[in-house]
Structure 1
Amino acid sequence: MLLSEQAGRSAAAKIPRPATLRESVIEAIQELIVSGQLKPGQHLVESELAEMLGVSRQPVREALQQLSGEGWVDLHPGQGAFVHVPTVQEADQLLAVRALLETESARLAAKHAGKDGVRRLRELCQGGIAAVEDDDVETAVALNSELHALVTALSGNSVLAELASQVARRVRWYHTPVARQRGMASWVEHSQLIDAIEAGDDNRAAKIMREHTEHTRASYMEQRENEPVEPAPKPVRRRRPRTPYAR
């Protein structure tokens, strides 16, 4: 039997390939943006990024082009690259979609989590509470993302998990600026959510998650209202110098 015929009958395991340099640079720049080390509207200088990441300018240039297409970076002719400034509308829309996905995730997790899943959720929650007590925002944000990802994984719905993962990083970008403001209240809500999941109360788990995601959305909107972000400067058109007439 030909290999092509065998492949058609059963899916072969894919051989993992190492990330290219460009992909690694894209990942690194996204993390710098999500963590707040690169601020919305900040000018991104290729040479500075290349030096920071220990690479040449070429993969940085390629990464910025791709990140521009994905909405992380804005490219302005004559000005350069800038960290994208999310509009209030796009943030609101994404956080609304997140609420729908994660509310359903919580409802299903209450049916399928099991004792081991609940144990792992509680470990993450305890770590998050400790991070808040230590005022370690970076760790708290990372553990928050892990906890939400685990709830989705415990839902048992792989399509739901894939959709949630597509918006997870951008949600973390929006959550980081308000993590300290949300503080311990966020982790109290997480604890209540885990209690509902452990009890198998799917309706309560969904209700808590819906309210929890709404609190984060409201905090982000309030933060944007109180601390508006200035957009990147608009490109300046330069007039070509006039060519003197021949005499």
Structure 2
Amino acid sequence: MSEQQVGTTARGAGLRKAAAPTRAARPPLERPTPLRERVYDAIAEMIITRELKPGEHLVENELALHLGVSRQPVREALQRLQTEGWVDLRPAHGAFVHVPTDEEADQLLAVRTLLESESARLAAKHSTPEQVAQLRALLAVGEEAVAADDQEAMVSANADLHAYVVSMSGNGVLADMIASVDRRVRWYYTPIARTRGKDAWDEHAEIIAAIEEKNARRAATLMRQHTERTRDLHHEQREGSAED
């Protein structure tokens, strides 16, 4: 092949390459959540909201019927819940909702106090008027739940407000650590939500005011006191139940 032919061939290949259509990047294809994951989430939520109470026997057939699934994803979900401490699997007896000990609750709520006081401190440093407005909107939802004596709504609103303070901190590692204990905190908070009632939301209002003022030290102190009151009340109720 002559130099002229080689040059012509190379130019032709270059033209063909240049003419190839360019494609815009596409988002990843969405995959449906595996059934076992959805069953896990459903049972975990039933435990957190106390629809399934501590110590309650979990029968695979009954759960499968309730959730409209076969026994296999229920069995897989129970095994995972056992690994994560939500369920106890007892040989020859079956699965039971875990009954948290005082030590477990104390350790978790102590860690929560440390993490959330730091999140409040950072939230105060970085807060914007728009974020404070959102906090006040979440506060209003919680106050409405208290007025309606709606325990489930109180627990949900409490979790939403605390989660938003965490998001305001701007610390992704801190957010991940708090998220890892959030479900269990909700589990412990549910029985005392009504007792905490208006006091908890008055405390939230003080924390929001400190965040709005960008008073980081005060926001951290108020959040620490707020979470410690929840921790103390949880112990008081456990002791009362033990006496009864």
Using the size of structure 1 for normalisation, the TM-score is 0.86
Mark the runs of 5 or more structure 1 residues left unpaired by the alignment. Answer: 1-11, 230-247
Counterparts of 1:1-247 in structure 2, within 5 Å, are 16-228=30-242
What is the CA–CA distance in structure 2 between the aligned matches of 1:223 and 1:14, rounded to whole Å? 48
What is the CA–CA distance in structure 1 between the aligned matches of 2:216 and 2:27, rounded to whole Å? 36
* Residues 126-148 of structure 1, C-alpha deviations (whole Å, 9 max, x = no match): 11001001001101100100000
Using the size of structure 2 for normalisation, the TM-score is 0.87
Please provide the CA RMSD for this pair: 1.6
What is the CA–CA distance in structure 2 between the aligned matches of 1:96 and 1:124, rounded to whole Å? 25
What is the CA–CA distance in structure 2 between the aligned matches of 1:115 and 1:13, rounded to whole Å? 33
Q: Give the secondary-structure state (helix, strand or coil) at the position aligned to 1:227.
A: helix
What is the CA–CA distance in structure 1 between the aligned matches of 2:198 and 2:27, rounded to whole Å? 44
Q: 1:113 deviation in Å?
A: 1.8
* Residues 11-52 of structure 1, C-alpha deviations (whole Å, 9 max, x = no match): x97655321000000000000000010000000011110111
Query: Cα distance 1:56–1:84, how it changes in 2: closer, same or farther (>3 A)?
Result: same
* Greater C-alpha Rg: 2
Q: 1:227 deviation in Å?
A: 1.1
What is the CA–CA distance in structure 2 between the aligned matches of 1:13 and 1:106, rounded to whole Å? 35
Considering fraction of residues, name the structure with more helix. 2
Q: Which residue identity is paired with 1:75?
A: L
Q: Which residue identity is paired with 1:65?
A: Q
Partner of 1:4: none
What is the CA–CA distance in structure 1 between the aligned matches of 2:234 and 2:29, rounded to whole Å? 41
Instruction: Work out the percentage of aligned pairs sharing the same amino acid.
Output: 58
Q: Which contiguous aligned blocks of 4+ residues in structure 1 show a shift greater than 2 angstroms? A: 12-18
What is the CA–CA distance in structure 2 between the aligned matches of 1:181 and 1:78, rounded to whole Å? 39
Q: Which residue identity is paired with 1:61?
A: R
Q: Give the secondary-structure state (helix, strand or coil) at the position aligned to 1:228.
A: helix
Q: Give the secondary-structure state (helix, strand or coil) at the position aligned to 2:89.
A: strand
What is the CA–CA distance in structure 2 between the aligned matches of 1:129 and 1:220, rounded to whole Å? 21
What is the CA–CA distance in structure 1 between the aligned matches of 2:196 and 2:45, rounded to whole Å? 21
What is the CA–CA distance in structure 2 between the aligned matches of 1:47 and 1:221, rounded to whole Å? 35
Partner of 2:6: none
Q: Which residue identity is paired with 1:152?
A: V
Q: Which residue identity is paired with 1:170?
A: R
Query: Number of residues paired by the alignment?
Result: 219
Q: Give the secondary-structure state (helix, strand or coil) at the position aligned to 1:38.
A: coil
Q: Give the secondary-structure state (helix, strand or coil) at the position aligned to 1:196.
A: helix
Partner of 1:244: none
